[in-house]
Structure 1
Amino acid sequence: MIHKHGIEKKVRSQKISSLFPGCGVSSEDTGLGAIGKIDHARIPSGITIKMHPHINDDILSYFRVGVSKHIDSENITAEISRKKLMLMQAGKIFHHEEQILEPLEGLQIFIRPQYKDDRPKVSFFDLDETDSLNQWRLLASPGNQTPLRFTSETWIYDIAIDERTRFTLPKLPEKGLIALLYVFEGELLLNETMELLKEESVVIKDESIKLEAEPGTELVLFFTNEESNCYKNGMYSGNQFRL
């Protein structure tokens, strides 16, 4: 199964485009397994997003351009950037504020937690390199392979292409998973026939995949278990069809 999400599948505002990866794949769930929602944000400097709540969302901040200052109800302050990722696990309730210090472009990725009302937790991942050139890099996982650890069955990778090249997806971390491939930047050719451009994505299951990318292409890859044991009523990661 291969299902392409075009930009028409997004809910757009001036600064944020939102992708609900289950739309078009299912009529019952706007999410895909434990992947609830992906926001592609472009926010100018000088903007402050005032203190606001999250409930039962795991939120990975993946910024490729710019710097944001994070302040939260757990008394944690940190600057998030191209080299520093953050995972906020909101649990029962969690408040945070974002101050945009430099013009920002990146993803806010809303993952469904395994259980409802866990204790809030914030963790960080200082990357050795800003880019993982021409090879997949594991950023977050449900196990101890990464500093950023989900409670539900979700793995997130990225790759940056600096020369025209052919490649494929990394080996599945477990059997029976479904993949969501997102084009953050550039353009991609899938199986020599399907073209994907910036902000487009494709859901892949049980298919042999060949990829060809232009220089400057940046991809984010998600694996999840469609039958994942996760809480589907989080504030933003939850199933929108049931609200």
Structure 2
Amino acid sequence: MGRDPFKLRMIRPGRIFQKKGVDLAFGPLGRIDHAFLDTGTVVGMHEHRNDEIFSYMWHGTMVHEDSSNIKTANSPMKLMMMNAGSSFFHQESVPSGQVEMLQIFIRPEKKDLNPAIQFYDRPVSFANGEWNLLAGPQELNAPLTIRQRVAVYDIHAKAGREINIPSVPGMTAWVYVMDGNVTVDEAELFKGDAISDSKAALPTFRSTNDTTLVAFLVDMDAPATLSGWFSGLGEGYE
């Protein structure tokens, strides 16, 4: 969607199991935008309601401003979670360079929770070849809290690595290739591909070259509101 200087690929993660339908979420994981923003891009001040929004920065720096009077620069070393709740306004801009990122929209457990915003300054050693827990429900003690039973991890693996997908009891994995490529059994996955299995744990991956994966662990049966403007079906839904 879109064109220079702002393009995105809108991903409906539930399409991995069903191709058509009104609701193409993967449990409470509603939507993922794989976005590309060039120098000078400004996404003007706009409102979110009932969306849990995780900004996963892959390349570049993006300036965030919001209705709580916060202005800060987000990057791969500084990640952000917006818990929009009853109402939250924000604006994003790219003063220089280019940005590639995932904007991840998750359905909160309840409608009209209190709005909040969180930031995570990642350790310099994040590219350690191991899974990094970035965001998740309170019981996982993740750096960023999602008000839902969804957890987000990433890994930056060198070529030739065997990769076992993280697991949490009661959660199903949905794994996205952010960069590089991997083999899974006889399948080869490239940048922009995703894989899941509703009945069993995913097998071991092997990185063909230097690869970044983003793994979502999702409680498919978790209670969630459908009223999110981006994560759900909009006003009028509970």
* TM-score clears 0.5: yes
Deviations 1:183-223 (A, max 9, x none): 000111112x1111101111223135110112321100000
The residue identity in structure 2 corresponding to 1:204 is D
CA contact (8 A) 1:161 1:214 kept: no
Q: Give the stretch that moved more between structures: 205-214 or 121-130.
A: 205-214
- Tell whether 2:111 aligns with 1:122: no
In structure 2, how many angstroms separate the alpha carbons of the residues matched to 1:222 and 1:182?
Answer: 8
Q: How many percent identity over aligned positions?
A: 32
Instruction: Give the deviation of 1:92 after TM superposition.
Output: 1.1
Q: Quick one: which of 188, 191, 195 aligns to 1:195?
A: 188
Match of 1:79 in 2: 73
In structure 1, how many angstroms separate the alpha carbons of the residues matched to 2:125 and 2:83?
Answer: 24
CA contact (8 A) 2:129 2:157 kept: yes
- Tell whether 2:153 aligns with 1:157: yes
CA contact (8 A) 1:83 1:130 kept: no
Instruction: Give the deviation of 1:115 after TM superposition.
Output: 0.8
In structure 2, how many angstroms separate the alpha carbons of the residues matched to 1:46 and 1:233?
Answer: 32
In structure 2, how many angstroms separate the alpha carbons of the residues matched to 1:230 and 1:127?
Answer: 29
Instruction: State the Cα RMSD in Å.
Output: 1.8
- Tell whether 2:7 aligns with 1:13: no
Change (3 A) 1:99 1:28: closer
Which ranges of structure 2 fall in alignment gaps of 5 or more residues? none
Counterparts of residues 22-61 of structure 1 (less than 5 Å): 22-26=14-18, 27=21, 29-61=23-55
Instruction: Give the deviation of 1:117 after TM superposition.
Output: 0.7
Q: What secondary structure sits across from 1:23 in the alignment?
A: helix
Q: Give the stretch that moved more between structures: 182-191 or 24-33.
A: 24-33
TM-score (norm 2): 0.90
Q: Give the stretch that moved more between structures: 208-217 or 21-30.
A: 21-30
Change (3 A) 1:239 1:195: farther
Q: Quick one: which of 107, 110, 116 aligns to 1:112?
A: 107
In structure 1, how many angstroms separate the alpha carbons of the residues matched to 2:34 and 2:110?
Answer: 26
Q: Give the stretch that moved more between structures: 85-94 or 135-144.
A: 135-144
In structure 2, how many angstroms separate the alpha carbons of the residues matched to 1:87 and 1:123?
Answer: 5
Q: Larger relative CO (CA 8 A, sep 6+): 1 or 2?
A: 1
Which ranges of structure 1 fall in alignment gaps of 5 or more residues? 1-11
The residue identity in structure 2 corresponding to 1:120 is P
